[in-house]
């Protein structure tokens, strides 16, 4: 395990020329990352299910940590690199094996959305309404697109069929050419868009703060689905088996049948707290964190409660699945691993800082961003 490098140390060393900034390793065996099993976008795949294709050791150990100077976004992983951005405007690539910085860039506006990787690019939108595309290999700027409204963008970029899609806080969904950032189409809604689009079969699904769940053709922007669900949501929909699932700030979780274009179930817990966390959907369950400090596991088809798991802090972190273990963070400062079958805790790590981000499962590693600026890597 390497000692954490601060961004100040990194910049002092020249930013990009970091080969000389090495730290002694602790006497701990290092299992090399497995190739071809990344987590290239927020929630892992285009349907935003939160399911990893990579396995983890039965008892993950801290391999390294990196200290940024401000709160980081959820991390993503592609081709052996970890990408994240920060509220202060840093956009960073780390080596997955060592945690050492590879390249970085900076904007004034700052970031809240996780980056997205596609076709050799890594894309991230900023809080000034611009979308930036960099070469994943060396960080070279390929293009930037400034949206007309210059509204904050807190959703991650979704990519399909050469189109990059992202919603903004002025209620506009923007579709851009992946290659050059040119505008293809826009779609207007009545309130801000906080959620990332889930993409399935050429349709981009997004839940808006205007209380409507929409499905838009990725290539043309033509509206194919419009389902009013009531309320306000910051959670991104998870799409699986023809059903989209997401929580709301109206203290409920909804299931929408994409073929029937209607709400087919609504889960309202006894404790009335908002759902900010995006759902994990796998094996017939929809699992979502709540500000009532608990994970709620629901039957994906009916919305019936199957079980809950309580922590000591609100759960804005979006859970992910690696094998049979659910990993998630909490505002109580702990990263937990919960066996999905026995519902017993099989992993716990105290970070000392609230965790509201989505973990990433990639290449035999678990990546977590804590609110104090640290990126933690377990494996």
pLDDT score, position 55: 87
Instruction: Evaluate whether 166 touches 127 at the Cβ level (below 8 Å).
Output: no
- As beta bridge partners, residue 245 has 238, 255
In a domain, 87, yes or no: yes
pLDDT score, position 250: 92
Instruction: Evaluate whether 243 touches 301 at the Cβ level (below 8 Å).
Output: yes
Q: What is the CATH number of the domain that holds 335?
A: 2.130.10.10
DSSP 285-305: EEEEE-TTSEEEEEETTT--E
pLDDT score, position 81: 97
Per residue, the 3-state secondary structure of 131-158, as one string, reads EEEEECCCCCEEEEEECCCCCCCCCCCE
In a domain, 330, yes or no: yes
Instruction: Evaluate whether 169 touches 192 at the Cβ level (below 8 Å).
Output: yes
In a domain, 231, yes or no: yes
In a domain, 28, yes or no: no
In a domain, 13, yes or no: no
Q: Which residue has the tokens 């994990």?
A: 280
In a domain, 209, yes or no: yes
pLDDT score, position 104: 97
Residues 123 and 116: their CA atoms lie apart, in Å, by: 5
In a domain, 332, yes or no: yes
Give Cβ neighbours of residue 240 (< 8 Å, ≥ 6 apart). 47, 49, 281, 282, 300
Q: Which of 276, 283, 236 is nearest to 252 (CA)?
A: 276
Q: Specify the DSSP class assigned to residue 283.
A: T
Number of domains in the chain: 1
Digit-by-digit pLDDT tens for the chain (379 residues) are: 433 444 444 443 434 333 323 332 332 334 444 445 699 999 999 999 999 998 899 889 999 999 999 999 999 999 999 999 999 999 999 999 999 999 999 999 999 999 999 999 999 999 999 999 999 999 999 999 999 888 999 999 999 999 999 999 999 999 999 999 999 999 999 999 999 999 999 999 999 999 999 999 999 999 999 999 988 999 999 999 999 999 999 999 999 999 999 999 999 998 889 999 999 999 999 999 999 999 999 999 999 999 999 999 999 999 999 999 999 999 999 999 999 999 999 999 999 999 999 999 999 999 999 999 999 999 9
Give Cβ neighbours of residue 274 (< 8 Å, ≥ 6 apart). 247, 248, 249, 250, 251, 290, 291
In a domain, 18, yes or no: no
Residues 1 and 378: their CA atoms lie apart, in Å, by: 10
Residues 58 and 159: their CA atoms lie apart, in Å, by: 33
Q: Is 368 helix (H, G, I), strand (E, B) or coil?
A: strand
Helical H runs in 205-318?
none
Instruction: Provide the domain limits for residue 118.
Output: 45-378
Instruction: Evaluate whether 376 touches 360 at the Cβ level (below 8 Å).
Output: no
- Residue 127 vs residues 98, 109, 234, 356: alpha-carbon distances, Å: 30, 5, 16, 18
- As beta bridge partners, residue 366 has 361, 378
- What's the whole-model pTM score? 0.91
pLDDT score, position 231: 85
Give the sign of the dihedral formed by CA 340, CA 48, CA 240, CA 213.
positive
Q: Which of 92, 263, 233, 119 is nearest to 167 (CA)?
A: 233
pLDDT score, position 3: 38
């Amino acid at each position: 395990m390497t000692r954490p490098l601060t961004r100040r140390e990194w910049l002092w060393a020249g930013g990009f020329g970091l080969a000389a900034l090495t730290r002694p390793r602790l006497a701990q065996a290092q299992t090399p990352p497995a190739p071809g099993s990344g987590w290239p976008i927020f929630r892992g795949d285009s349907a935003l299910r939160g399911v990893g294709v990579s396995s983890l050791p039965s008892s993950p150990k801290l391999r390294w940590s990196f200290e940024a100077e401000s709160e980081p976004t959820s991390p993503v992983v592609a081709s052996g690199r970890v990408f994240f951005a920060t509220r202060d405007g840093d956009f960073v690539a780390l080596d997955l094996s060592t945690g050492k910085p590879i390249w970085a860039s900076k904007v004034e506006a700052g970031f809240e959305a996780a980056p997205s990787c596609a076709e050799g690019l890594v894309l991230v939108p900023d809080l000034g309404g611009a979308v930036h595309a960099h070469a994943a290999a060396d960080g070279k700027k390929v293009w930037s697109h400034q949206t007309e409204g210059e509204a904050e963008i807190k959703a991650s970029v979704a990519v399909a069929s050469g189109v990059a899609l992202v919603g903004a806080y002025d209620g506009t969904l923007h579709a851009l050419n992946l290659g050059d950032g040119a505008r293809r189409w826009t779609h207007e809604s009545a309130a801000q868009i906080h959620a990332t689009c889930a993409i399935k079969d050429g349709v981009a699904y997004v839940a808006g703060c205007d209380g409507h769940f929409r499905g838009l053709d990725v290539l043309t922007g033509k509206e194919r689905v419009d389902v009013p669900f009531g309320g306000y949501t910051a959670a991104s929909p998870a799409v699986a088996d023809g059903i989209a699932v997401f929580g709301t700030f109206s203290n409920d979780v909804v299931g929408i049948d994409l073929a029937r274009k209607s709400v087919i179930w609504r889960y309202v817990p006894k404790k009335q707290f908002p759902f900010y966390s995006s759902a994990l959907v796998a094996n017939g369950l929809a699992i979502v964190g709540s500000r009532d400090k608990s994970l709620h596991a629901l039957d994906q088809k009916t919305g019936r409660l199957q079980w809950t798991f309580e922590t000591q802090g609100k759960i804005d972190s979006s859970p992910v699945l690696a094998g049979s273990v659910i990993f998630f963070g909490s505002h109580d400062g702990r990263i937990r691993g919960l066996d999905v079958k026995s519902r017993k805790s099989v992993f716990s790590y105290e970070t000392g800082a609230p965790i509201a981000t989505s973990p990433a499962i990639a290449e035999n590693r678990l990546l977590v961003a804590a609110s104090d600026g640290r990126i933690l890597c377990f494996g």
